[in-house]
Amino acid sequence: MRIAVIGGSGHIGSFLLPRLVRAGHEVLNLSRGGSRPYTDDPAWAEVRAVAVDRHAEDADGTFGARVAGLEADVVVDLICFTPASAVALVDALRGRTGHLLHCGSIWMHGPSSRIPLTEDDERHPVGEYGVGKDAIARLLQEETAAGGLPTTSLHPGHISGPGWAPITPLGNLDHGVWERLARGEEVLVPGTGSELLHHVHADDVAVAFQLALEQPAAAHGEVFHATAARAMTVRGLLEVAAGWFDREPVTRTVGWDEFRAATPTAFAEQSWDHLWRSQFASPAKAGRLLGFTPGEPDVAVREGVEWLRRHGDLQHLGAPPARDLV
């Protein structure tokens, strides 16, 4: 198949595009071209680069026609964040493309009311991002149910792996959390420590997309969670992560007011956004219909932390030195 991937140089695309090339597909990568993929793979030599500015072309109403003009059998959209952008692409592809796959987020769900979350649970998203992803998933499913463009939306958890910073056990992007765990220093933990985080390896998400696009009969009109086999509690991930550095975690549970007073505002808000939701979105439906078998979340996080260490982003680990994590 000819497959056009919008935003193919990012977290998911860095793993997905080489997989598609090796599977024998013709692959086009639509991106601004300003960044390199997170993975080095000989398969990238066979990917056709198409320079586009999604934001600018959406604004002037030309993006959908540009994508439709590529005459792809499948379009994978990894960077759609608003219903208006999704509608414009669907309208342009209807009748011209066989399958549109959209990357959503488990934040299409609001704070958990039952665990694990399933795709069919009633959704109460919060925040602009979550509300947008929920709306896109609904409109795509309605489009296919009405006999229009065949679509599928896949919703990852906290994407992790080599190439970028993973969400820490506190639900934020503060590298200092890993450094304090490595040095055996105290880590302030807001809430109870029983809140859930649901990381997933970017390559597992890539596999989910590949399975869906290569099994259209099972995927058309569906919404899938693309998540790890299990979620982890804050307490559990703290213990596992400290163990990577041959440490036991030194923690102190505090209220949110004290945590916010001791934490830079951006990191404190990230922690609240993740821990308040406390999500575990089951991948069972993708397993049943697509044969999706994701790995464990701590493995994904561990690869991300090791990548940070190797690339000098964790500069104050202190003694004992962090050993190789992978």
Q: What is the pLDDT of residue 103?
A: 98
Q: What is the pLDDT of residue 326?
A: 30
Distance CA 243, CA 65 (A): 52
| Whether 309 contacts 317, CB under 8 Å | yes
Neighbours of 71 (CB within 10 A): 10
pLDDT per residue rounded down to tens, the chain (326 residues): 999 999 999 999 999 999 999 999 999 999 987 667 777 889 999 999 999 999 999 999 999 999 999 999 999 999 999 999 999 999 999 999 999 999 999 999 999 989 999 999 999 999 999 999 999 999 999 999 999 999 999 999 999 999 889 999 999 999 999 999 999 999 999 999 999 999 999 999 999 999 999 999 999 999 999 999 999 999 999 999 999 999 999 999 999 999 999 999 999 999 999 999 999 999 999 999 999 999 999 999 999 999 999 888 786 554 333 433 33
Domain boundaries defined on the chain: 2-159+199-226, 161-198+230-278+296-310
Can you name the CATH fold of 161-198+230-278+296-310? UDP-galactose 4-epimerase; domain 1 (3.90.25)
Distance CA 27, CA 106 (A): 27
Sign of the torsion angle spanned by Cα atoms 136, 138, 144, 148:
negative
Q: What is the pLDDT of residue 315?
A: 67
CATH architecture group of domain 2-159+199-226:
3-Layer(aba) Sandwich (3.40)
Q: What is the pLDDT of residue 124?
A: 95
Helix (H, G, I), strand (E, B) or coil at 279: coil
Q: What is the pLDDT of residue 313?
A: 77
Q: What is the pLDDT of residue 59?
A: 94
- Give whole-number Cα distances, 102 to 59, 83, 92, 161, 172, in Å: 20, 12, 15, 21, 25
